[in-house]
Amino acid sequence: MDRFGGIAAVRPDGDIPRRSAVPWPARAPRSRRQRPSPPTPRSSRARLRALSVDYRLAPEHPFPAAVDDGLAAYRELLAAGTDPRDLVMAGDSAGGGLTIATLLAAREAGLPQPAAVVVLSPWVDLTLAGGSIRSKEDADPIFDEADIRAYADLYVGAGDRAHPLASPVFADLTGLPPLLVQVGANEVLLDDAVRLAGRAGADDVEVTLEVGPGLPHVFHHHYGRLDEADAALDRAARFLTAHLDAGRPEPVR
Active site (catalytic) residues:
93, 187, 217
CA within 13 Å, CB half, 15: 6
- Ramachandran region, residue 31 (left: φ > 0; alpha: ψ -120 to 50; beta: rest): beta
Contacts of 195 (CB under 8 A, 6+ apart): 124, 125, 130, 169
Helix intervals (H) in 21-136: 39-45, 65-79, 94-108, 132-135
Q: Taking CA 192 as the corner, what is the angle to CA 191 and CA 196, rounded to the nearest 5 degrees?
A: 110
Contacts of 60 (CB under 8 A, 6+ apart): none
How many beta carbons lie within 10 A of that of residue 138, not counting itself?
10
- Ramachandran region, residue 102 (left: φ > 0; alpha: ψ -120 to 50; beta: rest): alpha
- HEC string for 212-245: ECCCCCCHHHHCCCCHHHHHHHHHHHHHHHHHHH
- 140 contacts 217 by C-beta, under 8 angstroms: yes
